[in-house]
Amino acid sequence: MKIRKKQKPEWLKRTLPTGPEYERMKKLLSGNNLNTVCQEAKCPNQFECFSKGTSTFMIMGEKCTRNCNFCAVQNNPIDLPDLKEPKRVSKTVEKMNLSYVVITSVTRDDLEDGGASFFAETIREIKKLNKDILVEVLIPDFQGNKKALKTVLDAKPDVLNHNIETVPSLYHRVRPEAIYERSLDLIKRSKAYAPGIPTKSGLMVGLGEKKEDLIQTFQDLVEHGCDALTIGQYLQPSKDHLPVEQFVTPEDFENLREIALEKGFIEVASGPFVRSSYQAASLFEKVNNCSQHIEHNQI
């Protein structure tokens, strides 16, 4: 890969849009006491997404039980999740007139089921509002709890997303409280239990990973039943987080996309500003259309 260090390259500089829709979104979320991963994780796309009237809801509070070295979300939650939050999310979805919703959460290892029941209840509340609304869930690993995963899948999300985040050789430095194989197993169990629900994962690049390690991770994900993949540039949230080791060029992102597709993913979104839920509806549509085409040809 072509590498540039330290100084942020031109392709990572963007004008942040503002306007009445962005301000309306902020007030709507704040007024309903809801968190978004867009704001908490300092996502570079939040201005664009808010301006278009979309967001990724982050349930179960704004503090995580883990403290990953790449993530801007605060840690050490002290309160139990709000039982009324799923209803508030569904009402906000209605006010925003959304047709595609992404639900994620902080990791709550302090809860018996890791918060799986809150995911399930949020899905049900949204579907109760309108069964045609598509719901993607971006879930933690639930510490390998199989029952917790089934709780989420039984609520019938339209996409099951779980981020692998980085290559296995960097787990000890990037996310020391997670286990690479456990995340792969979650995707495999999801596909085995609910084969009709598309599976998705995400990777950050720029943390010092080698290209051959990325290719092996692509292979591992496909072999464990992952349908779609997002690949984006890691950006350091603050001086207290891991530094960026390299800035990957747009051309190399396109090359990674081609390699990942060759490995067997149905669809791949790859680019400097791509994040796990960025343009999620568009990615789902491509995966769904391709899956239907494959099923039709097999009949």
Per-residue pLDDT of the chain (299 residues; tens, 9 = 90+): 554 446 778 777 766 555 666 566 666 666 656 555 444 444 555 555 554 445 688 899 887 888 776 676 677 777 889 999 999 999 988 888 888 889 999 889 999 999 999 999 999 999 999 999 999 999 999 999 999 999 999 999 999 999 999 999 999 999 998 999 999 999 999 999 999 999 999 999 999 999 999 999 999 999 999 999 999 999 887 787 889 999 999 999 999 999 999 999 999 999 998 988 777 888 888 888 876 645 544 43
Q: What tokens were used for 155?
A: 């609520």
Q: Domains in the chain and their CATH numbers? A: 22-293 (3.20.20.70)
Give the pLDDT score at 67. Answer: 73
The amino acid at 290:
C
Give the pLDDT score at 98. Answer: 83
* The model's pTM: 0.85
Give the pLDDT score at 278. Answer: 74
Q: What tokens were used for 59?
A: 């349930």
Q: What is the largest CA-CA distance in the chain?
A: 55
Give the pLDDT score at 3. Answer: 44
Give the pLDDT score at 291. Answer: 66
Distance of CA 60 to the CA centre of its chain: 16
